[in-house]
Amino acid sequence: MTPRDTSADLVAAAPRCTFIPPWLVERVDGPEAAAHDEALRARRALEARSTPTAGAEEATGPDWIVHDAGSTTTLPGTPAREADQPATGDTAVDEAATGIEQTLRMFAEALQRDSHDDAGATVSITVHYGEAYNNAFWDGTQLVFGDGDGRVFERFTKPVDVLAHEFSHAVIENTAGLAYQDQSGALNESVADAFASCLKQWLLEQTADAGDWLIGEGLFLSSVQARALRDMAAPGTAYDDPDLGTDPQVGHMDDYVETSNDNGGVHLNSGIPNRAFQLAAVAIGGRTIEGAGRIWYDALVSGDVPTDSDFATIAAATVAAAGQHADAVRQAWAQVGVEPAAPTGASTPAEQPVPAGAPAGRLRVERSGGFAGRTESVEVDLDDTVEPGLRALVDEAVVPASTTGTPPMPDMFTYTFVVEGRDPVTVPEQLLSASQAELARRVLRGGPAAR
């Protein structure tokens, strides 16, 4: 695989799945992390899709390879360890190795799936990505993990469910291919969380009623007032910290969030199907991967879950796949306000006002998405700024851009530039032009590096 510097060139690609949602990015502005990962993941997603024989070639190789990016943004990095090789002593490398072995084994033993493509493709993993990088993502080719900033976040290889979540995005891409936008994007996130929780419980030999249902437990440093990044059993309760704020996830259709941020609120609204999965798992009983996990997987590969599925569509598919547990699954969806029926039966969330444009002479730059699903917004006065040449950069950067055919990728960032008198310009990270990347970097102070 030819190394490439992901911050050096732009290639149109689909948006990526990042682990940190945009509302945490607003609070935790990790150096360079935000924009680099978007440019990387979507670009490589396109490369992967444009090489249809790549999977067949990889299937002849080892089960997995862990690479070391050496704190750069060049992927895949230097090979550090592969299947059947001993531990290296590098904590992140060895955590990734152990995590992928466990994840592959669960999918093989419990679901009879051979790697993410079900054809034995080598799983390529990169650790030590970027400097103090606060994210993890699947870009269509790689599972990529940052080391965290050591201030808010630990290594992203530390909780094994983070790796399982990103691997599950690859499984979803190779099965239902859920589009990473609005309800289908929230389902993409939720299914990844579901299998991540399955792995955690499977390793601990827990039944569904004994699981803690936490996603990303141990990812925050002990100084942060948080139990985890998400709580599938009680969305909106995972953290409440003076600096991070309160977990904004919702767990019922009555609270569904209509927003243009985070690809339509995929990390916010994923709490709704997350809660349905948890309720179904506990009602069915036993080990989750053998109960609700098996049902959700069967629905995913059934052909009844199109790429643009809404909650009602997948609810109907899971009820159909549930057999003797159909009533338990139907009731689980009903408890979160979703009627398992045709897509038109889904609840329609109330529209919320779109934020007003920036005042005269002002620029607003918003960054949303990421694994944490948090939104960061910074506004500056173009006539009174310490940044020389910013207005000229705005004239070059804030122009309409076509993103046709490049849907968001799971867990990647999206940027929006707002100037009065012009339509807002929204661009997936991987499609940022050099001037847009530089503008975001200068305004957000920790945005993408100029390309």
Could you confirm whether 267 is annotated as catalytic? yes
Q: Token pair for residue 195?
A: 């299998």
Catalytic residue of the set 166, 173, 189, 429: 166
In angstroms, rounded to a whole number, what is the distance separating the alpha carbons of residues 198 and 291? 10
Q: Over the stretch 88-119, which tens digit does the pLDDT of each residue have?
A: 999 999 999 999 999 999 999 999 999 999 99
DSSP-based three-state secondary structure for 229: coil
**pLDDT tens track for 263-313:** 999 999 999 999 999 999 999 999 999 999 999 999 999 999 999 999 999
The residue whose two tokens read 């007003």 is 356
Please give the full DSSP string across 154-186, using - where no structure is assigned: --TTSSHHHHHHHHHHHHHHTTT---SSHHHHH
Token digits of residue 385: 């700024």
Q: What pLDDT is recorded for position 29?
A: 52
Specify the amino acid at residue 170.
Answer: A
pLDDT at position 57 is 40
For 218-269, how does the pLDDT look when each residue is reduced to its tens digit (9 = 90+)? 999 999 999 999 999 999 999 999 999 999 999 999 999 999 889 999 999 9
Angle at Cα 190 formed by Cα 322 and Cα 425, nearest 5°? 140
For 182-345, which CATH class? mainly alpha
Q: Is it the case that residue 406 has pLDDT exceeding 70?
A: no
How sure is the predictor about 51, in pLDDT bands with cuts at 50, 70 and 90?
very low
Residue 154 in tokens:
């630990």
pLDDT one-digit tens code per residue, 414-428: 888 888 778 888 888
Residue whose C-alpha is closest to residue 442's, from 404, 388, 405, 401: 388
| Residue of 378 and 213 predicted with greater confidence | 213
The helix-helix angle for 160-173 and 91-111 (nearest 10°) equals 50
Using 50, 70 and 90 to split pLDDT, how confident is the model at 121? very high
Task: Delimit the domains of the chain by residue range.
Answer: 182-345
Question: What value, to the nearest 5°, has the Cα angle with vertex 74 and ends 72 and 80?
Answer: 85
What are the percentages of helix, strand and coil residues in the chain, rounded to 5? Answer: 40, 15, 45
CA 177 to chain centre: 14
pLDDT at 60: 72
pLDDT in tens, 63-77: 999 999 999 999 999
For residue 26, what pLDDT is reported?
65
> Residue 14: what pLDDT?
45
Concerning whether 166 is annotated as a catalytic residue, the answer is: yes
DSSP letters, 240-262, are EETTTEE-----SGGGPPP-SSH
Mean pLDDT of 32-53: 46
Is the omega angle on the peptide bond into residue 76 within 30 degrees of 0, that is, cis? Answer: yes
**Catalytic: which of 267, 325, 376, 429?**
267
Residues 6 or more apart from 85 whose CB is under 8 A from it?
none
Band of the pLDDT at 347, cuts 50, 70, 90? very low
pLDDT higher than threshold 70 for residue 384:
no
Give the residue-averaged pLDDT of 209-221: 97
- Give yes or no for residue 49 having a pLDDT over 50: no
Burial 48-58 (b: 16+ CB within 10 A, else e): beeeeebbeeb
Res 317: pLDDT: 96
> Has residue 412 got a pLDDT over 60?
yes
Residue 45 has pLDDT above 50, yes or no: no
pLDDT given for residue 422 in this prediction: 80
pTM of the predicted model, to two decimals?
Answer: 0.77
Strands (E), 87-197: 123-127, 136-138, 142-145
Q: What does the mean pLDDT of the chain come to?
A: 84
